[in-house]
C-alpha cells in the first residue's frame, strides 16, 4: 500500500451545484476525536444526530445530520464521518474547510493534532480504499462508477447486479476450478513416469473442457454487459438530401437536426444517444457525401468519413425517390466503393431504403451479399421498428437485461486472454507426450488473467486509471 493510502482524507461527496442536501465525507483511522471537535459531542456509531455545525469561533455554519461509522464497518473499511447539510456549494465548502482546519487543530488532551495529515481526497479515493481494505473487489468498484454513469434503466440494474457480486462470484468460481486443475497438473511434475495415467484418471481433460464451457457462458454474459455499458456507435451516411437528418430525428423522437430541401444543410456531426431495449445507441448524423467546392462543406464531409471510420455500424441511406436517376446511382456506387475501402470488414453496413412513402409499392432492392437491409420512411415512421431490431442484431444483443451483469471492455479482453490460454493448455494436454510444464504455465497465465478482473492480480497503473475516472467524493 502506498504511503498516501494511510492519510486521512476529506471531500464533498455530492455532485457540484445546488441541492436540498449535500454531504461532506471524512475517512481515516481514529476519527472519534475529530468528530468530537467538529460536533461538540460524542457521536453514537451508525446513528444520525441532528446538531449545528460550527466554525472555529463557535459560529454556526449550518445545521444538519452527523453520522459516524467506526471501521471496519464502513464504506471504506476505515472510520468514516459524514456531515449532511443543506446542499449549497458555499455551505459545503465552508464545512469542508472546517474539517481540514479541525484536523490540524491541537487536541488539548494530547497536545497533538486531532487528525494529522488530513487532506483533500483524490478522485475515486474513497472507493479505492474500500477496495484496498477488502470491502469490495475491483469489479465491484468499477460497478459503482457504472451505476452512477448508467444511461439506461437496464444498465443501472445490471450495474447493481455486478455491485452485489454476481459477476465476481462467477469469476471466483472459474478461478477456483482453474486452481484445482493447476494443483493436479503441478502435482504430477515430480512423477514423470506416472503423470499421464494420473491425469487421465483424474479426468484432467474433462475438467479443462468444463472450464472452457463455463468460460464461454461467462464471456457471453460479459459481452452483453459491456454492450449495456458502452452501447453501440451508429453513423448515418449517404448522399445529401437522402433523409439522414430526418432519420436521426425520427429515431430520437425530437427535432435535433435541421431538415431542409437544400442539399448540404448538415455541415457537421449531430449526435444523440437513444436506447433500444435498454441498449444505448449513439446515433450520429453526418454531412452528405459528395464532391463539393464549398470549403466548410468539405470539412464537414471529412469529419463524416472520420466518424464512419470509428463506427460500430453504418446506416447507408438510399433515396428511393431518386433511385431511377443514373447519376444518383453512380454516386451511391462511389460511396459504396469508398465504404468497402475505408471500413474494416468487421463493421456491419446496413442498407436503409428511405422515402417509401414517396414511392408507393417501390420494389425491394436486393441487399449486398451478407448485409441487412430495411425499407422505411423517416417522415412517417414506417419501418423504424424493423431498423431498431436490426441494430440490436448487429450489435450482438441476445440476453434479457434481468440475466446480465455490467461489464467493461477490459473484462471482456481478460476473458478472451483466459480463453486463449485454456486453448493452448488443451493443445498441450492433447499432444503426443504433452509437456506438462508448459501446460502448467498456460493454466497459471489463465489464472492471472482471471484474477486481474477482480483485482487480486493487478498493477498500480491499472488501479490509477480505473479510480481516476471516479468523482472526487466517491
Look at the chain and report how many structural domains it folds into: 3
264 is in an annotated binding site: yes
Place of cell 483485482: 455
**Residue 265 labelled as part of a binding site:** yes
- 147-202 pLDDT per residue, tens: 888 888 888 888 899 999 899 999 999 999 998 888 888 777 766 555 556 667 77
Q: Do 221 and 206 belong to one domain? A: yes
What proportion of the chain, given as a percentage, has pLDDT over 90?
36
Q: Which of 87-101, 377-391, 456-470 has the lowest mean pLDDT?
A: 456-470
363 is in an annotated binding site: no
Q: Is 206 marked as a binding-site residue?
A: no
Q: What one-character DSSP code corresponds to residue 322? A: G
Q: Residue 25, annotated ligand binder?
A: yes
In whole angstroms, what is the distance from residue 471 CA to residue 13 CA?
Answer: 8
Check the annotation: does 366 bind a ligand: no
Please tell me whether 70 is known to bind a ligand.
no
> What DSSP string describes 136-186?
S-HHHHHHHHHHHH--SHHHHHHHHHHHTTHHHHHHHHHHHHHHHHHHHHH
Tell me what pLDDT residue 270 has: 80
pLDDT score for 58: 87
d(Cα 83, Cα 64) in Å, to the nearest integer? Answer: 7
Residue 237 lies in a domain: yes
Check the annotation: does 245 bind a ligand.
Answer: yes
Consult the annotation and say whether 42 binds a ligand: no
Q: Is 455 annotated as a binding residue?
A: no
What region, left, alpha or beta, does residue 71 occupy, with left being phi > 0 and alpha being psi -120 to 50 degrees? beta
> Is 288 annotated as belonging to a binding site?
yes
Q: Are residues 235 and 132 in the same domain?
A: no
Q: Is 260 annotated in some ligand binding site?
A: yes
pLDDT > 80? residue 75: yes
Return the pLDDT at 277.
84
Residue 319's domain comprises 231-395
Judge whether 134 is annotated as a binding position.
no
Residue 246 is assigned to a ligand binding site: yes
What is the per-residue pLDDT across 361-419, written as a single tens digit (0 to 9) for each? 655 565 566 688 899 888 888 889 999 999 998 888 876 555 678 888 899 999 999 99
Measured CA to CA, the distance from residue 148 to residue 225 in angstroms comes to 15
Residue 195 has a pLDDT of 52
Q: Are 2 and 14 in contact (CB under 8 A)?
A: no
107 domain residue, yes or no: yes
The verdict on whether residue 378 carries a ligand-binding annotation is yes
Does residue 199 sit in the same domain as residue 162?
Answer: yes
262 is in an annotated binding site: yes
Is residue 469 domain-resident? Answer: no
Residue 157 within any structural domain of the chain: yes
Q: pLDDT per residue over 301-346, tens digit each?
A: 888 888 888 889 999 999 988 888 899 999 989 999 988 888 888 8
- The reported pLDDT for the residue numbered 246 is 87
Residues 208 and 110 in one domain: no
Do 266 and 248 fall within a single domain? yes
Amino acid at each position: 500500500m502506498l504511503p498516501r493510502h494511510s492519510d486521512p482524507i476529506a471531500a464533498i461527496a455530492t455532485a457540484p451545484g445546488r441541492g436540498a442536501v449535500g454531504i461532506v465525507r471524512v475517512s481515516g483511522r481514529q476519527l472519534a476525536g475529530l468528530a468530537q471537535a467538529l460536533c461538540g459531542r460524542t457521536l453514537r456509531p451508525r446513528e444520525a444526530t441532528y446538531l449545528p455545525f460550527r466554525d472555529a469561533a463557535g459560529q454556526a455554519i449550518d445545521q444538519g445530520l452527523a453520522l459516524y461509522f467506526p471501521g471496519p464497518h464502513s464504506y471504506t473499511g476505515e472510520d468514516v464521518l459524514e456531515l449532511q447539510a443543506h446542499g449549497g456549494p458555499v455551505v459545503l465548502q465552508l464545512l469542508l474547510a472546517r474539517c481540514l482546519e479541525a484536523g490540524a487543530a491541537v487536541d488539548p488532551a494530547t497536545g497533538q493534532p486531532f487528525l494529522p495529515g488530513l487532506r483533500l481526497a483524490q478522485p475515486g479515493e474513497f472507493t479505492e480504499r474500500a477496495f484496498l481494505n477488502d470491502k469490495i473487489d475491483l469489479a465491484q468498484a468499477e460497478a459503482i462508477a457504472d451505476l452512477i454513469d448508467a444511461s439506461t434503466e437496464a444498465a443501472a440494474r445490471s450495474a447493481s447486479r455486478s455491485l452485489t457480486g454476481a459477476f465476481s462470484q462467477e469469476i471466483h468460481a472459474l478461478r477456483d476450478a482453474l486452481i484445482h486443475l493447476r494443483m493436479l497438473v503441478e502435482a504430477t511434475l515430480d512423477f514423470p513416469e506416472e503423470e499421464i495415467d494420473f491425469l487421465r484418471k483424474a479426468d484432467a481433460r474433462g475438467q479443462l473442457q468444463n472450464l472452457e464451457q463455463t468460460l464461454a457462458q461467462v464471456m457471453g454474459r460479459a459481452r452483453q454487459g459491456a454492450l449495456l455499458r458502452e452501447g453501440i456507435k451508429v453513423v448515418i451516411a449517404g448522399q445529401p438530401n437522402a433523409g439522414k437528418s430526418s432519420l436521426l430525428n425520427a429515431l430520437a423522437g425530437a427535432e435535433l437536426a435541421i431538415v431542409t430541401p437544400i442539399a448540404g444543410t448538415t455541415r457537421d456531426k449531430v449526435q444523440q444517444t437513444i436506447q433500444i431495449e435498454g441498449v444505448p445507441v449513439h446515433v450520429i448524423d453526418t454531412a452528405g457525401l459528395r464532391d463539393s467546392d464549398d470549403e466548410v462543406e468539405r470539412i464537414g464531409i471529412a469529419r463524416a468519413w472520420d466518424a464512419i471510420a470509428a463506427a460500430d455500424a453504418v446506416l447507408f441511406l438510399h433515396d428511393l425517390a431518386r433511385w431511377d436517376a443514373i447519376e444518383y446511382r453512380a454516386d451511391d456506387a462511389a460511396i459504396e466503393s469508398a465504404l468497402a475501402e475505408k471500413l474494416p470488414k468487421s463493421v456491419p453496413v446496413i442498407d436503409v431504403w428511405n422515402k417509401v412513402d414517396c414511392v408507393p409499392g417501390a420494389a425491394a432492392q436486393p441487399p449486398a451479399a451478407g448485409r441487412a437491409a430495411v425499407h422505411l420512411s423517416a417522415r412517417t415512421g414506417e419501418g423504424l421498428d424493423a431498423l431498431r431490431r436490426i441494430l440490436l442484431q448487429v450489435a450482438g444483443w441476445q440476453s434479457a437485461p434481468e440475466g446480465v451483469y455490467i461489464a467493461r471492455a477490459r473484462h471482456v479482453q481478460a476473458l478472451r486472454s483466459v480463453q486463449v490460454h485454456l486453448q493452448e493448455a488443451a493443445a498441450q494436454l492433447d499432444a503426443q507426450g504433452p509437456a506438462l510444464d508448459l501446460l502448467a504455465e498456460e493454466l497459471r497465465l489463465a489464472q492471472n488473467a482471471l484474477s486481474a478482473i477482480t483485482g487480486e492480480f493487478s498493477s498500480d497503473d491499472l488501479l490509477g486509471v480505473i479510480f481516476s475516472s471516479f468523482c472526487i467524493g466517491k
